[in-house]
Copies of this chain bind each other. A is one copy, B any other.
Amino acid sequence: MKNEGDTPRAVTMRDVAQAAGVSVSTVSHVVNNTGARIGRDARERVRRAIEELGYRPNAMAKNLVKGGSRFLGLVADAIASTPFAGQIIHGAQDEAWQHGYVLLVANTEGNEEAEASAISMMLEHKVRGILYSTWYHRAVDLPAGLAEADTVLVNCYSTNGAVPAVVPDESAGGHDATRMLLAEGHRRIAFLNTRTPSPARDGRLDGYRRALDAAGLPFDPDLVVDVQPDQGGGYAAVDQVLAMRATAVFCHNDRVAMGLYDGVRDRGLRVPDDLSVVGFDNQEVIAAHLRPALSTVALPHYELGRRGVRVLLGLDVPEAGTGPLAVDCPSVPRHSITRPSES
Question: Would you call A2 and B147 a contact (CB within 8 A)?
Answer: yes
Closest to A289 in B: B231
Among B83, B87, B125, contact of A102 (Cβ-Cβ < 8 Å): B125
Closest to A145 in B: B56
Among B58, B83, B162, B235, contact of A126 (Cβ-Cβ < 8 Å): B58
Classify chain A's interface size.
35 or more
Question: Would you call A58 and B124 a contact (CB within 8 A)?
Answer: yes
A121 in contact (CB, < 8 A): yes
Give A231 to B288 CA distance when docked, in angstroms: 10
Indicate how many identical chains form the complex: 2
A51 in contact (CB, < 8 A): no
Question: Would you call A150 and B2 a contact (CB within 8 A)?
Answer: yes
Question: Would you call A60 and B56 a contact (CB within 8 A)?
Answer: no
Among B1, B114, B149, B291, contact of A231 (Cβ-Cβ < 8 Å): B291
Question: Would you call B56 and A120 a contact (CB within 8 A)?
Answer: yes
Which residues in B have their C-beta under 8 angstroms from that of A284? 81
Give A151 to B231 CA distance when docked, in angstroms: 42
A85 in contact (CB, < 8 A): yes
CB distance from A178 to the nearest CB of B (A): 25
Question: Would you call B56 and A123 a contact (CB within 8 A)?
Answer: yes
Question: Would you call B105 and A103 a contact (CB within 8 A)?
Answer: yes
Among B64, B86, B97, contact of A80 (Cβ-Cβ < 8 Å): B86
A243 in contact (CB, < 8 A): no
Of residues 121 to 176 in A, which have CB atoms within 8 Å of B's CB atoms?
Answer: 121, 123-126, 146-152, 162-164
CB distance from A338 to the nearest CB of B (A): 19
Give A107 to B306 CA distance when docked, in angstroms: 14
Give A64 to B235 CA distance when docked, in angstroms: 59
Question: Would you call A125 and B60 a contact (CB within 8 A)?
Answer: yes
A341 in contact (CB, < 8 A): no
Of residues A54, A81, A83, which shows the largest number of chain B Cβ atoms within 10 Å of its Cβ? A83
Of residues 1 to 60 in A, which have CB atoms within 8 Å of B's CB atoms?
Answer: 1-3, 10, 54, 56-60
Give A83 to B89 CA distance when docked, in angstroms: 12
Known: A2-B147, A151-B1, A231-B291. A93 touches B79 (CB 8 A): yes
CB distance from A288 to the nearest CB of B (A): 9
Question: Would you call A93 and B64 a contact (CB within 8 A)?
Answer: no
Closest to A158 in B: B1
A302 in contact (CB, < 8 A): yes
CB distance from A303 to the nearest CB of B (A): 12
What string of 1s and 0s marks CB contacts (under 8 Å) between A52-81 and chain B? 001011111101100101000000000111
CB distance from A138 to the nearest CB of B (A): 19
Question: Would you call A59 and B126 a contact (CB within 8 A)?
Answer: yes
14 contacts between A and B (CB under 8 A): A1-B162, A1-B163, A2-B147, A56-B148, A58-B124, A58-B126, A60-B64, A80-B83, A90-B109, A97-B106, A97-B117, A102-B104, A230-B289, A262-B291
**Apart from A93-B107, A235-B291: 9 A-B pairs, beta carbons within 8 A:** A1-B146, A2-B147, A2-B150, A3-B150, A59-B124, A81-B86, A97-B114, A102-B125, A283-B285
